[in-house]
A and B are shown apart, each in its own frame.
Chain A
């Protein structure tokens, strides 16, 4: 699956692990919640980067205490209309202070990317490589934010009263917005 990160297509250094059986030999492994809960000791004993993948009915509260062990959290969009992971992403960034890679996986479409990015996702598994151009366009299509969100950029109500404005620079779209760490 092509992976977009930092405004470009990158090789995915991570490999998924099955729920059972031997772990992959690669250093960077993504496990499901069941494997994490059942094999926590074994996974931590590897002493290597670890990622976890949550389905859309697994709220991140279940791993909130364990987040220090993960370099990556992948949140599934089983279909693009299932919007639960937008809330999960904001909670991970804004409440639980997760600063690692937050990856959108599943039915990830270009027209939703800007919302995902604003909720704190910084990596996107997309269906095809052509999506990169779409992504570059999509994240710049709407520059005005009527809400504060996990991207930590000032919203219109704040900018109107003295907050620093990134308008119209963002309108011109020379630079992709940067995801800031959101730990409180």
Chain B
């Protein structure tokens, strides 16, 4: 894992002091709320429906046990004993007191964490593949470059007042677990014909009210040019991005309105001037950061551990867990264990302080001190010895953390929705809770197979509904909550946006509608066909038929 050096420590410490002074000016009345707003927004502090909300960055979703314990401590000491993991691998606290926020930030700084730019119209937390360093299919560990981008994008003097927020995701595997095609910039590591690793650069993807799949503007970028190329993109956007209309201010609109080819020419022209300048990445700096992400001291193990296979065969409940929550590791004999934060009827992504502390202990003992946060709002123990997976499972089960539903119909992404957020039109969490309760029968979930349901409480799409196999969008209709359903979305390497199936459903009717869609899929699918394959083959008609014909 990355560790701060004197520069990183100094910057975060100075930022805490700066924000403490800004809060002091607000509390003394020197600043009014309007003047304070842009300052707090650059530190992840939102004013929500009931209280301030503090969003803390978890860079590329990687946490150490010490960091997770500190997050638990903050939840207990400054909040109501829990935190909420978000779709951007961050954690949010919903009830902090303004006067205490500087203290929270100071406590986070002691474990090398911060909330800088976790809101506002600047670079947001850089996200990455949550299986980095563990997945068999990666070319290199993408976190090396996510960390390089994190530093470059922190308090950037030129780009701290962009037209709109800016999200960058990094992956280094062909299987895209970071949704790079629906980010402002997606960075995908690939090899060129000579076999060298570099980056494909994807620009202008995004969700929100105008969902767009991003376009590749450069097929291959040598590593040393990564930052200069990003700077060129941002310089074009900062000057030309629309500032007259909040809803047209994201880079995706600029790319669309300029045209991908013309936009690419602008970037390449700007880059020509700066590519060999001061931003060229020093090879020693890449090597320095790489050294932090060296693999943990794995033992040499047999690829198949007899203990693991025996337990799996002997205990069907454990077998279920393995089937959904355990994945192959690139290191022989190890496994990746996912911890579902989607228990039946639970709030997707919520974890109590006790659960966080428990997982921190577990990671320390079984996973080389590492925990990952996924953009699907679950946690991962990335490096577990196969022969210890059964012990880990039993321990998780004792804490209600062994729900075997990763990737299944009840593993739902949901934004906070109207229960917390002042942008929302409708509730998201209770819809997720009701769906997971409706599909509580595990056997039925296994029979349905992998199916991604994603729920957003408003058009800003924090719940990623556009890329859900089944997407649910809360809308306000004359003061009542309604839900529009889209089908066929996909966040992965075959990224696609879902299409609206028809008229929206009431709060009371939406769960039954989802069930009808799922049942229709199960009925019309052919052997082994995934939801989107069936949808692509049969089109919307069978779903429309069952959803609306009988009304």
Contacts and interface: CB of A to CB of B under 8 A. Distances in A.
Interface of A: 59, 80-84, 86-88, 90, 95, 111-112, 114-116, 118-119, 137, 141-144, 146-149, 155-161, 167-168, 171
6 contacts: A81-B121, A83-B163, A87-B235, A112-B161, A146-B153, A171-B10
A148 B282 contact: no
A118 B157 contact: yes
B15 interface: yes
A114 B42 CA distance: 14
B152 A146 contact: yes
A142 B14 contact: yes
B7 A144 contact: yes
The 10 closest A-B CB pairs, nearest first, are A83-B161, A118-B157, A148-B278, A144-B11, A115-B157, A156-B7, A157-B285, A161-B284, A146-B151, A86-B158
B105 to A, nearest CB: 14
B154 A83 contact: no
Interface string B1-32: 00001111011001101100110000000000
B38 A80 contact: yes
Given A142-B14, A147-B156, A171-B10, A111 B39 contact: yes
Given A147-B157, A157-B285, A83 B273 contact: no
B158 A90 contact: yes
Given A83-B159, A146-B154, A167 B10 contact: yes
B18 A141 contact: yes
A121 B157 CA distance: 11
Given A146-B11, A147-B158, 10 more contacts: A81-B121, A83-B159, A83-B162, A86-B160, A90-B235, A142-B11, A144-B7, A144-B14, A147-B156, A161-B282
Residue in A141, A144, A159, A161 whose Cβ sees the most chain B Cβ within 10 Å: A144
Classify chain B: how many residues form its interface, as a range: 35 or more
A87 B15 contact: no
Contacts of B448: none
Contacts of A144: 7-8, 10-11, 14
Q: Interface centre among B7, B121, B238, by most A CB within 10 Å? A: B7
Interface string B265-287: 00000000100011101101100
A83 B11 contact: no
Contact of B157 (A81, A111, A114, A160): A114
A83 B42 CA distance: 14
A160 B281 CA distance: 12
Chain A at the B interface: SS class: helix
Nearest to A159: B7
Given A111-B22, A143-B10, A87 B282 contact: no
Given A84-B239, A90-B158, A146-B154, A160 B121 contact: no
> B-side binding surface: helix, strand, loop or mixed?
helix
Given A141-B17, A167-B6, A171-B10, A82 B243 contact: yes
B288 interface: yes
Nearest to B227: A147
Nearest to B154: A146
A59 B239 contact: yes
B155 A82 contact: no
A82 B239 CA distance: 10
B7 A86 contact: no
A59 B156 CA distance: 20
A87 B163 CA distance: 13
Contacts, number: 108
Given A82-B243, A119-B157, A147 B18 contact: no
B466 to A, nearest CB: 27
Contact of B155 (A84, A88, A146): A146
Contacts of B162: 83
Nearest to A146: B151
A115 B38 contact: no
B293 to A, nearest CB: 16
A86 B161 contact: yes
A112 B288 CA distance: 32
Interface in B13-68: 14-15, 17-18, 21-22, 38-39
Q: Which one of B121, B157, B239, B282 has the greatest number of beta carbons of chain A within 10 Å?
A: B157
A113 to B, nearest CB: 11
B299 to A, nearest CB: 33
Contacts of B5: 160
Given A95-B273, A156-B151, A157-B285, A143 B157 contact: no
Nearest to A88: B239
B156 to A, nearest CB: 6
A22 B18 CA distance: 47
A144 B163 CA distance: 25
Nearest to B10: A144
A114 B39 CA distance: 14
Interface centre among A87, A90, A95, A141 (most CB of B within 10 A): A87
Given A81-B38, A83-B160, A167-B6, A143 B14 contact: yes
Contacts of A111: 22, 38-39
A23 to B, nearest CB: 31
Nearest to B6: A167
Interface string B133-174: 000000000000000000111111111111100000000000
A142 B38 contact: no
Nearest to A156: B7
A142 B15 contact: yes
A144 B18 CA distance: 13
Contact of A86 (B14, B39, B238): B238
B152 A160 contact: no
Contacts of B153: 146
Contacts of B279: 147-148
Contact of A146 (B6, B156, B278): B156
Contacts of B10: 143-144, 167-168, 171
B44 to A, nearest CB: 16
Given A142-B15, A147-B152, A119 B158 contact: yes
B485 to A, nearest CB: 36
Contacts of A158: 278, 282
Given A87-B235, A114-B157, A160 B14 contact: no
Contacts of A84: 238-239, 243
B254 to A, nearest CB: 13
A114 to B, nearest CB: 7
